Structure 1
């Protein structure tokens, strides 16, 4: 397995997860994500400087307090704070990040997005997002703010749209269909759709792949991955012109 493949695989096999922005308020994404992860097979830590505990679990003021204990972090804080949090994740030895927070290139703030990518790269971290719904591997962990029950299956679903992702997940949940994994790639500032596709193509448990894409940063690489696939890949590409 190559270096890139190992880095991407670590998203799906975290030894421990910190939720930065874990909240006591039930309507906050950080609360829902932490609650989802509490029922997973992964050790999870809440991080919030203003809380002593979240859902009865001791809360840490900074992820730096967990240095050496966490391999993965889910970030759900206001966008202006994200650069500081990413820096602290690097100091803590985190390897992979999922940034739920919005307010970056999707809203015209490309410089802020470039800043967090630069910080992550300086610490050797890989980044999913920002502006994502999260990552779900049924029967393993749900690092997202989707609250429905998803059965385990053999379909991997990659979505660039969080809203569409919620709609599809709702359908899978209500119909009882199974997923191998759900990957929300958001702004694809680091991990791209092509990266996610190559990861699920190498996954033995994935038998079929569904992709919703709004834009492709590596069109040639994406087409090469599709053409070399021994698994069916279904792609819905959003239009860019007026309806």
Structure 2
């Protein structure tokens, strides 16, 4: 698998004309800063980006680690045979037009060749991959800044949408793989690789269907890292669409849910939840909640009640503070504050009050949800300073939601500088916290 992510040399097969797939992949690799050797293969020869285009692999005398194939479907087998003769052991087949459109025979020919000659293949019908820590971007999708999240997706288009969403939110990635029809390398192989990858902290997966369920479950169970999955094909209409998209068998949803539960995979329903939970794991993996006893600290009753409703829906436990804790809070809070759960500090809450309350309640609860809509007379940055200071002192998860759009930009900027993820709504924070708790329970 190392040849896919850390090759010292790569051969790209396909048209080198602008806007063609091979051309765009080459441009991505060059602009990404790849320092290995690049060989372009096209019968027409020529040059592009000041690189010679070889008419065949016979012109290349050096060893090649990886082939990236973006030729018409009818030429793929010949390119693979040529690559095998050259000693190439890994290939990414971008080309579509195989089992996803009913041509299973052509795909079987590729599978047979791979097994007989010991070649590993990602694809066909995929969007490629990248490794930001090797500056290697053999993909038709966008390049990303470095981060500690990795994402594998059966659908290249959905993978691209997720990457665009992440970039818009300023989220970096370690690795991305679009594996398409997975004629050889599949989800289990990629999970095993990422489980041993030092730059990956959390594994995110988009799945349409599985072919080797037991292999996948073994890999997921063995993972030392959280695996978060979006599973498409929940409805009958969705399952029909999956079959026509990547030729995958979606299967009954309850079977997949049971398998995910058995393997310790956290299932989410959309991109927002995927990244909310992934970033929460990145921040709190070393200090997961020990239980589901949660306290909400807010300066506004309405949002606090809404988050409390969401917490109960997620089976989070919201007991009132003990009499002892209430007394400690009453010693410095205004009499108009509500000391139930949620604890409502009212709009008059100061930065130091937030700090002291968070530190005190963390002694009694497994996690703290902080909700804030800063009033006009108290800046969001000022309150954020108190939250950041408290979060550094307590050893339990403190999840934060500052809500008010541009009014809280200064506070959110301070959070980003101190590795605090701000959730756009308290409900999203509660949902992420529930995921942390489920994962922590399975690991204990």
Same fold (TM over 0.5): yes
Partner Cα separation in structure 1 for residue 204 and residue 168 of structure 2: 18
Report how many aligned residue pairs link the two structures.
Answer: 234
Distance 1:173 1:63 in 2: 37
- Which of 63, 84, 97 aligns to 2:78? It is 84
Aligned to 1:172: 166
Q: How does 1:33-182 map onto structure 2 within 5 Å?
A: 33-38=25-30, 39-139=33-133, 140-146=135-141, 148-182=142-176
Structure 1 distance, partners of 2:87, 2:164, is 35
Bigger share in strand:
1
CA distance in 2, matches of 1:149, 1:118: 33
Equivalence for 2:442: none
Which has more helix, going by share of residues? 2
Q: Does 1:11 align with 2:4?
A: yes
| 1:59 aligned counterpart, secondary structure | strand
2:13 equivalent to 1:20: yes
Alignment of 1:147-226 (within 5 A): 148-226=142-220
Q: Which among 204, 212, 222 is matched to residue 228 of structure 1?
A: 222
Farther off after superposition, 12-21 or 114-123 = 114-123
| Residues 154 and 208 in structure 1, CA contact (< 8 A), matched pair in contact too | yes
Q: Which runs of 5+ in 2 are unaligned?
A: 239-444
Corresponding residue SS for 2:97: coil
Q: CA RMSD in A?
A: 1.4
Distance 1:193 1:138, change over 3 A: same
Matched, 1:29 2:24: no
- Is the counterpart of residue 237 in structure 1 residue 231 in structure 2? yes
Q: 1 or 2 for the larger relative contact order (CA 8 Å, sep ≥6)?
A: 1
Q: Give me the whole-angstrom Cα distance separating, in 2, the residues matched to 1:182 and 1:15.
A: 19
Q: TM-score, normalised by structure 2?
A: 0.51
CA deviation digits over 1:151-207, x for unaligned, max 9? 111111000001101101111223221111001111010001111111101112210
Task: Tell which deviates more after alignment, 66-75 or 194-203.
Answer: 66-75
Cα displacement (A) at 1:222: 1.4
> How many angstroms apart in 2 are the aligned matches of 1:70 and 1:86?
13
CA deviation string 1:66-123 (max 9, x = no partner): 2542111100000000010000001111110000000000110010011122223332
In 1, Cα distance between equivalents of 2:117 and 2:221: 34
Once superposed, which parts of structure 1, at least 4 consecutive aligned residues long, lie more than 3 Å away? none
> Quick one: distance in 2 between partners of 1:192 and 1:17?
21
Find the structure with the greater CA-based Rg.
2
